[in-house]
Amino acid sequence: MPNVFGPVPSRRLGLSLGVDLIPFKTCSYNCLYCQVGETSFLKVKPEAHVSERTIVNEISEKLLTSTPDAITFAGSGEPTLNSEIGKIITSVKELSDIKVVVLTNGSLFWQEEVRRRVLMADVIMPTLVSAFEDTFKLIHRPHPSLKLINIIEGLQKLRGDYQGSLDLEVIFLEGLNDSEKEIIGLKRIIDQIEPDKIQINTVVRPPTDSKAKSISNKRLAEIMTYFGKKAEIIATSILIGEEGKGSLAINNLLEMVRRRPLRAVDIAASLNLSLKDVDGLVKALLIKGYLRKQKHSKEDYFISNEKDIPSYK
């Protein structure tokens, strides 16, 4: 599948062109709530996984046919695990004036070189789920070398170094980090980090582990009020088509896989798209949790996450 995928509508970013800089499910965490699945490669040392030239060429090609609101470094794992991310961000910003966003779990910013690599981005969106080590480990199932105190210090140092918009995502799971103790502890740490925005989230699509359960809208609203004016709820599930731009093919694809599993070649034929375009759309929807992949007769089929009983034809 391509390294650059979409663009797809995003509630936070408008029409977002995704950039995947690492091999599938390479991450420093193995989160309970991840909608992409179990981490395959648990690591903390950045390496040069995908080259600057490869990414820039793919983005250039995409920009010939689409005008996204944001170019988002995200994907199936942790983008800062690519040691070339700084060079890639610089090249992408020379390519266009489109906003560059880094969607990250925030686990590696205790390393000065990792912080330095992302400073040219327009927006950085790290994640924080707890002020307590035991809860942090329970939810994120991190690489053994990672300690919460270092991660929090890394986020504070990033705030000091970074001039762009730092939008902190806080994901709440029922019975795990939604108690008064957890919320008070989180607010204390968030006040120290001083993000520009606090984005409150919960599980909205099937997670990796069934222990990851969403909290109610009422509880989300209570937390938002407690966190103050910078806080906003982003957990509300939206239809892909609500953003309006470039969403017809995505809506049609989702409607087809709700009825039965399909191969990429079937989707391409039905929507009159190239296989390359279908690969980009499918990858985006897999990462966003709208689809899942399943093998049948040695072929990959794509299935809606809203449908549990496959019907192969």
The pLDDT of residue 2 = 83
- Give me the pLDDT at residue 236, please: 56
Please, which residues have CB within 8 angstroms of residue 57's CB and are 6 or more apart in sequence? Answer: none
In this predicted structure, what is the pLDDT of residue 114? 98
DSSP state of 210: T
28, 143 contact by CB (below 8 A): yes
Burial tier of 42 (Cβ tally within 10 Å: 0-12, 13-18, 19+)? middle
* Contact call for residues 153 and 131 (beta carbons, < 8 A): no
The residue with greater pLDDT, 293 or 45, is 45
The pLDDT confidence band at residue 306, using thresholds 50, 70 and 90, is: low
Structure tokens at 143: 């690489």
- Tell me which of 9 and 103 has the higher pLDDT: 103
Report whether pLDDT(287) > 90: no
pLDDT tens digits, residue range 237-285? 444 444 443 466 777 788 788 777 888 888 888 778 888 888 888 888 8
CA–CA–CA angle 164, 170, 171 (5° rounding): 140
Q: Which amino acid is at 64?
A: L
Instruction: Record the tokens describing residue 46, joined without a space.
Output: 């950045």
Quick: pLDDT tens for 115-161.
999 999 999 999 999 999 999 999 999 999 999 999 999 999 999 99
pLDDT above 70 for 182: yes
Of residues 218, 78, 89, the one with CA closest to residue 151: 78
Q: What is the pLDDT of residue 86?
A: 97
pLDDT digits (tens, 9 = 90+) for 37-81: 899 999 999 999 888 999 999 999 999 988 899 999 988 899 999
Q: Return the percentage of the chain with pLDDT > 90, whole number.
A: 63
Q: What is the pLDDT of residue 202?
A: 94
